[in-house]
Chain A
């Protein structure tokens, strides 16, 4: 009797151990999948040109800033960087400006077509950008929006807006409506209650959603390449000019693109997790 119990207990322990191993192995594999390219990118960006092409590879970079320095001084990089920041900032302002009110409305009001509206917000992500970019390019040329920061920011806003709406929606939904109602009974108008109670509580999340919009625009390359010629953003510029550049310059350019985005995403990870329904920790 007791032996049977022990064997079955041992069997469960074994099964659990195997499950644990599987979990750890999968997690490890996924981490390597994501982190290895970033690791190689940074190693190579921080190594001297000789090390990049040489073999065997070093595990630690030589912290030779030669490639990066050369890259920064490369003609057009500074301008492209400025364009990227400008477009990303505009995108951020536009997506929060439109997205946060929409998120608030979705979380607080019941209106006809609410479900459809939410669905449509998501549906905007269903159209591949190449499908949109060419008609847009034609339209932009007609309206004079082509090759401007605003025009590109508008396209990036359509990409970032669904996320802005959904993040702020979950953000506002997480703030009990009673707090707002309490503010109303304590003498606030709707707007005052929002400004004095909801906004201070939602601000960190709104900032996170803004940073996310910034990152989306920062990383976007297709629309940027199609819709701009003179005023290229960093991604479009690199796509165009680094094709023929030596390997070490490509690594430096890649790092210049990836690192800011990584830092931003890391800073706001808590809110992105919350949006995707993972426990907020």
Chain B
């Protein structure tokens, strides 16, 4: 049982605040992905959980035990580093055995656990090699095996796939998901790659400027962004935003279209829609086509709507040409509204 609770954690480096007051609860065996652009504080948060960084404020609990004052070795964690950190002076076998030897396990147990995890990560034929004789992907496997062999309560991963080439990354992603699910270990996984986050996570915590903006399931984060930032960061192409002004109580005028929306006592809010949630029809947002990008299964068009860029994903059978004037009708149940001042969802 290793649920993690991060309570009011803040971190300052000199005058720079890397984390403001972060709260996050992670359930036992959950796969939590911290997602954000570089410099958003996700790695700092991971390192605070690992004990490699001391929080300026706040508490970290793992498995019902407060650990923020404990050194990394007493926290029941194992970590996989971005550059793998495979010890170059030890063989693969000794790398995987390193933590087990520190625990003073009997040799037979060490061998059993090393062989089992090596088999799990498909590196049993590499056990006698040194890290200098391994490819990047193989080093990655050794680093994961070394963490798994510890049978930790929590595995922490810091962008483990970012140094692999695209094809290998895809392969390792699927494999990691399988292996970690089978190990029933609570996982915190840091990445800047939204596709990786979506495909791996039970829950994604989207971070921005030292704060967690939203922590929810991948579909929830995609469909119902809690803030404008989430909508614009997740999804490729990202969400479209248009200004909306009040037409009547509970109805808003967006680019010449009147749409039912939240009943609010204010004049201006923001309308948002995902590019795939519009249909070309007779009635909709007036758009002038600027760029057409056929992508195979569908066609991405970039248009002008009210002087701003607007992207739409249309079926590839649609016949459009640059300069065409289209009517793009948003699917009513997919429309989201944001407060332009707080940028939060309405």
| Contact, CB under 8 Å: B102 / A184 | no
Q: Which of A142-195 contact B (CB under 8 A)?
A: 176, 178-179, 181-189, 192
Identify which of B71, B78, B150 contacts A189 (C-beta below 8 A). B71
| Contact, CB under 8 Å: A186 / B102 | yes
Across the interface, which residues of A come within 8 angstroms of B50, CB to CB? Answer: 181, 185
A128 beta carbon closer than 8 Å to chain B: no
B192 CB to closest chain A CB (Å) equals 18
B136 beta carbon closer than 8 Å to chain A: no
Across the interface, which residues of B come within 8 angstroms of A192, CB to CB? Answer: 102
| Contact, CB under 8 Å: B79 / A181 | yes
A197 beta carbon closer than 8 Å to chain B: yes
Identify which of A176, A183, A200, A201 contacts B98 (C-beta below 8 A). A183
Q: How far is the CA of A181 from the CA of B156 in the complex (A)?
A: 13
| Contact, CB under 8 Å: B73 / A189 | yes
| Contact, CB under 8 Å: B79 / A182 | yes
Across the interface, which residues of B come within 8 angstroms of A200, CB to CB? Answer: 89
Interface size, A (range): 10 to 19
Q: How far is the CA of A189 from the CA of B102 in the complex (A)?
A: 10
Number of A-B contacts (CB under 8 A): 59
A172 CB to closest chain B CB (Å) equals 15
B83 beta carbon closer than 8 Å to chain A: yes
B213 CB to closest chain A CB (Å) equals 28
Across the interface, which residues of A come within 8 angstroms of B81, CB to CB? Answer: 178, 181-182
In this complex, the member of A178, A192, A197 whose beta carbon has the largest number of chain B beta carbons within 10 angstroms is A178
In this complex, the member of A184, A185, A188, A201 whose beta carbon has the largest number of chain B beta carbons within 10 angstroms is A185
* A203 nearest CB neighbor, chain B only: B89
Known: A187-B102, A189-B71. A181 touches B87 (CB 8 A): no
* A200 nearest CB neighbor, chain B only: B89
Q: Which of B127-167 contact A (CB under 8 A)?
A: 146, 150, 156
A119 CB to closest chain B CB (Å) equals 21
Q: Which of A58-117 contact B (CB under 8 A)?
A: none
* Per-position binary interface string of chain A over residues 28-64, scored 1 when its CB falls under 8 Å from any chain B CB and 0 otherwise: 0000000000000000000000000000000000000
Identify which of A176, A179, A184, A196 contacts B72 (C-beta below 8 A). A184
| Contact, CB under 8 Å: A186 / B150 | yes
Known: A186-B146, A187-B102, A188-B102. A197 touches B73 (CB 8 A): no
B88 beta carbon closer than 8 Å to chain A: yes
Across the interface, which residues of B come within 8 angstroms of A184, CB to CB? Answer: 51-52, 71-73
Q: How far is the CA of A188 from the CA of B88 in the complex (A)?
A: 17
- Secondary structure at the A interface, as helix, strand, loop or mixed, is helix
B103 beta carbon closer than 8 Å to chain A: yes
Across the interface, which residues of A come within 8 angstroms of B82, CB to CB? Answer: 178
A201 CB to closest chain B CB (Å) equals 6
| Contact, CB under 8 Å: A181 / B52 | yes
Identify which of B73, B83, B87 contacts A185 (C-beta below 8 A). B73
Across the interface, which residues of B come within 8 angstroms of A197, CB to CB? Answer: 87, 89
Identify which of B51, B52, B73, B88 contacts A186 (C-beta below 8 A). B73
B60 beta carbon closer than 8 Å to chain A: no
Q: Which of B64-105 contact A (CB under 8 A)?
A: 71-73, 77-79, 81-83, 85, 87-89, 98-99, 102-103
Q: How far is the CA of A200 from the CA of B85 in the complex (A)?
A: 15
Across the interface, which residues of A come within 8 angstroms of B71, CB to CB? Answer: 184, 189
Q: How far is the CA of A52 from the CA of B72 in the complex (A)?
A: 69
Identify which of B77, B78, B87 contacts A179 (C-beta below 8 A). B87
Across the interface, which residues of A come within 8 angstroms of B51, CB to CB? Answer: 184-185
* Per-position binary interface string of chain B over residues 153-188, scored 1 when its CB falls under 8 Å from any chain A CB and 0 otherwise: 000100000000000000000000000000000000
| Contact, CB under 8 Å: A185 / B77 | yes
* B102 nearest CB neighbor, chain A only: A187
* B84 nearest CB neighbor, chain A only: A178
| Contact, CB under 8 Å: B72 / A185 | yes
B187 CB to closest chain A CB (Å) equals 14
A261 CB to closest chain B CB (Å) equals 30
Q: How far is the CA of A189 from the CA of B74 in the complex (A)?
A: 10
Q: Besides A186-B150, A192-B102, A197-B89, 10 other CB < 8 A contacts? A: A176-B83, A176-B85, A181-B52, A181-B72, A182-B87, A182-B146, A183-B98, A184-B72, A186-B78, A187-B73
**What is A's interface to B at a CB cutoff of 8 Å?**
176, 178-179, 181-189, 192, 196-197, 200-201
For this complex, 6 residue pairs linking A to B, each with C-beta atoms less than 8 Å apart, are A176-B83, A178-B82, A181-B85, A185-B73, A185-B79, A187-B150
**What is B's interface to A at a CB cutoff of 8 Å?**
50-52, 71-73, 77-79, 81-83, 85, 87-89, 98-99, 102-103, 146, 150, 156
